[in-house]
Amino acid sequence: MPTPKTIFATIGATALLVTTSIANAQDLNVNWKGAPELSSADGNFKMKLRGRLFTDWASVSDNGGKAVDATEFRAARFGIEGVIMKDVKYKLELDFAGNKTNITDATVEWALKPVSVIVGQFKTPTSLEEQTSSRYITFLERGSLTDAFGFSRQIGIAANYAQNDVTFKAGIFQGNAKGGSKSIQGRTYAARATFAPQIKNGFIHIGASAFQRENDQTVLIKSYSQRPHHHLAGKYVNTGNFAAKSDSFYGVEFAGVMGPLSAQAEWGWLKAKAPTGGVDAKFNGGYIDVSYILTGESRGYKNGSFGRIKVNNPVFKGGAGAWQIAARYDVIDLSDTAAAVIGGKQTSYIIGVNWHLNNYARVMANYSRSDVKGGVNDGEDINAFGLRFQVDW
């Protein structure tokens, strides 16, 4: 893992290179998009600092009483992105949450509309909720299936198509920036397609995704687990380790926006391939939610994922900001009796209120009730309340 000094030196060198290139272009434009974006007059060069800071608090109780009353930095990211010679984009972002330094996105993209090719570490193309940035998700945590089934960033290469309300992205991935102890890493093959036709005052989103994920060489173990709906909570459904040499996933996704009203749903199925002679373990999970922005704004959307809510009357101009209310039903089932894997089933009910002070700052409050059936925590009822204070640029 690169040291913080090495990483900051890399960011500094990249910033110096791009700034010098812009200076050589003679004309310099400065735009504010949460942070200053520098660009040459001809648009061939751009550079922008990016980042986010999420400060969270949680109170979690189960059948045994208070289990969590704590705070954390859920995200503390800093990075840089830009364009070199018009059609080559780059991005590097680091996360310092948990007093650790981790590379999140690190990519170079050859952008030729409507097709682009991206290389580096980025999210494998899976799930609407996963592809939507944590800056824009409606609840504190994503749907259970995204975490339980191990959706993540990996190093790889992918081709992307986006035009006329249609997107398609497919790639091959192997390993991640953390490296690993295996000299021969398993590959992941993933693809996702979406279609978002326009309707009166909004749109409908339809999508599907799938992946095939190999284990690293000689590894014949898989495990899946999930928390209630706060990152500081413990994991109450857990398969533990069991024999498997690979896994595969396929999922469907639906969403719709009509002005301030939004609905979203996903369901996914995962199969863990057993070694020869064994029984494949099968799991599933999904969610459905609805949200409404009381102040009249709509959720942003672009190229197959949700984006920023643009606040009509921000607080700094004397307005009330944007107020959003939301409710979600979420299920993750990690039990398969036929394969003798009993991880438990967690059903959650979540309500939330989000206050967007402006386009780049919001306060989030969530309450969730999770019920567990099966597994070592059978019968547990978990109540979680969480707050987040968020800013991004």
Cβ contact 48:18 at 8 Å: no
What is the structure's pLDDT at 88? 97
Cα gap 359→35, rounded to integer Å: 12
What is the structure's pLDDT at 266? 98
Cα gap 90→34, rounded to integer Å: 19
For residue 3, what pLDDT band results from cuts at 50, 70 and 90? low
What is the structure's pLDDT at 157? 98
pLDDT digits (tens, 9 = 90+) for 202-212: 999 999 999 99
* Burial zone of 156 (CB within 10 Å; 0-12 exposed, 13-18 middle, 19+ buried): buried
What is the structure's pLDDT at 10? 53
**In the predicted model, what is the mean pLDDT of residues 334-356?**
98
Mean pLDDT for the chain? 93
**In the predicted model, what is the mean pLDDT of residues 41-52?**
94
pLDDT at 183 over 50: yes
For residue 262, what pLDDT band results from cuts at 50, 70 and 90? very high
Cα gap 182→337, rounded to integer Å: 32
With tokens 């991206």, the residue in question is: 118
**In the predicted model, what is the mean pLDDT of residues 307-325?**
97
Residue of 192, 190, 193 lying closest to 174 (CA atoms)? 190
pLDDT at 224 over 60: yes
The CA distances from residue 358 to 79, 313, 317, in Å, are: 22, 8, 9
- Coil, strand or helix: which one is 162? strand
Cα gap 204→262, rounded to integer Å: 10
- 52 Cβ contact partners less than 8 Å away, ≥ 6 residues apart: 75, 76, 77, 134, 135, 390, 391, 392, 393
- What are the chain's domains? 52-392 (2.40.160.10)
Q: Count of CB atoms within 10 A of residue 192's CB?
A: 28
Cα gap 320→299, rounded to integer Å: 17
DSSP secondary structure, 91-150, as one string: EEEEE-GGG--EEEEEEEEEEETTEEEEEEEEE-S--HHHHS-TTT-SSSS--HHHHHTT
pLDDT digits (tens, 9 = 90+) for 115-167: 999 999 999 999 999 999 999 999 999 999 999 999 999 999 999 999 999 99
**Long-range CB contacts for residues 360-369, cutoff 8 Å, separation at least 24:** 360/34, 360/391, 360/392, 360/393, 361/390, 361/391, 362/390, 363/387, 363/388, 363/389, 363/390, 364/139, 364/140, 364/388, 364/390, 366/139, 366/140, 366/229, 366/230, 368/228, 368/229, 368/230
What is the structure's pLDDT at 35? 87
For residue 43, what pLDDT band results from cuts at 50, 70 and 90? confident
pLDDT at 25 over 60: no
Share of the chain above pLDDT 70, in %: 93
pLDDT at 16 over 70: no
pLDDT at 12 over 80: no
pLDDT digits (tens, 9 = 90+) for 362-385: 999 999 999 999 999 999 999 999
Residue of 352, 307, 294, 344 lying closest to 328 (CA atoms)? 352
- Coil, strand or helix: which one is 163? strand
What is the structure's pLDDT at 67? 97
